Structure 1
Amino acid sequence: MNKTQIQELLHHRDPYLMVSEVTKSNENEIESLKTFSGDEFFVKGHFPNAPVVPGAMIQEFCTQSAGVLITKYHSPVKDYNSNKTKGWALGVLNKVQGAKYLSIVKPQGDLKAKVKLIDKMDNLFKFSAEVYQEDELKAKLKFSLVNISDDYLTGE
């Protein structure tokens, strides 16, 4: 799945879109890549002359990847398209149950997320994720996403 297809499923856009490509997916798991350009906004001051990807952005990468899975396979709206469909915000972060960062992630090359759907209860989805860079496990996360009315986002 390329960037255009991902943007049909997610509301995120550059410079905040973290998912560059989806390499594998089904209704229970997704694998995605973040390809770094080296010019990402979130590393310019984190840290000057020694850039490191913030843990919050690693979480966001996994959250967006899980959002693609929810929208593609568990959407309450048939043929959901983020550019056209109104009424729903899909895959909104609800809770981070745990995050363990095992080593530093540099903003270079590809970052790979392997995200698994653990449980689904109505509009609540629980996930686990592992994040790799150059085949080295960098982080393990557990989190929940929820589908909500987009009224919460627009304030209407």
Structure 2
Amino acid sequence: MEVTSDNQTGETQPGIDIDILRVMEMIPHRYPMLMIDRVTNVVANVSAVGVKNVTINEHFFQGHFPQRPVMPGVLIVEAMAQTAGVLVVHTLGSDAEGKLVYFMSIDDARFRRPVTPGDTVHIHVTKLQHRRNVWKFKGEAKVNGVLCAEATFAAMILTE
């Protein structure tokens, strides 16, 4: 169900939820580079929330860092981009499924708190701009409502 406004009360209904199987139909990423487990509250052309359940079994924890495992910041930004990719495909429809998307810029990235095994990261992405096949987003990664990372990023979806 999309977010809709009730004209009488002004209340909104939540967006749709997308499970991992549908995520894998929508974007081309696979293990070990698939950084989201599901996407919730997807509102076409507006916003979405990716969910990543971080476990000690993640491949990157073998070397980052064995004594104190921390999810690399670049992978948190990648999770933001993948969440945005699902939002783009949901917005554009099935013709966009599985298309490659390339980063064009990452601006104002800030890492405020480490993400560690056992954390559930909620990746909030909001569309800022869309022109032709270039999309710009604001992303925030939160654990238990606490901001861990944020960035503004642009990506290009290949339409060929």
TM range (shorter): 0.7 to 0.9
Bigger Cα displacement from structure 2, 41-50 vs 57-66: 41-50
Equivalent residue, structure 1, for 2:103:
93
- Report deviation, 1:145: 0.9
| Secondary structure, aligned partner of 1:56 | helix
- Report deviation, 1:37: 2.5
Report the TM-score, using the length of structure 2 for normalisation. 0.83
Q: Distance in 2 between matches of 1:5 and 1:79?
A: 14
- Say if 2:21 is the partner of 1:11: no
Q: Deviations over 1:94-119 (max 9, x none)?
A: 11122011111113231110100000
Equivalent residue, structure 2, for 1:85:
none
- Report deviation, 1:74: 2.6
| Secondary structure, aligned partner of 1:12 | coil
- 2:114, 2:148 within 8 Å by CA — same for their partners in 1? yes
- Say if 2:59 is the partner of 1:41: yes
Equivalent residue, structure 2, for 1:113:
123
Relative contact order (C-alpha < 8 Å, sep 6+): which is higher? Answer: 1
1:26 to 40, 43, 46: 43
Q: How many residues align?
A: 142
| Secondary structure, aligned partner of 1:59 | helix
- 2:125, 2:139 within 8 Å by CA — same for their partners in 1? yes
- Report deviation, 1:31: 0.6
Bigger Cα displacement from structure 2, 100-109 vs 120-129: 100-109
Q: Deviations over 1:98-154 (max 9, x none)?
A: 20111111132311101000000111100001110122111111000111256xxxx
Equivalent residue, structure 2, for 1:50:
68
Residue ranges of structure 2 left out of the alignment (5+ in a row): 1-17
| Secondary structure, aligned partner of 1:65 | helix
Q: Distance in 2 between matches of 1:119 and 1:47?
A: 37
Instruction: Please give the root-mean-square deviation of Cα atoms over the aligned residues, in Å.
Output: 1.5
Report the TM-score, using the length of structure 1 for normalisation. 0.85
Equivalent residue, structure 1, for 2:5:
none
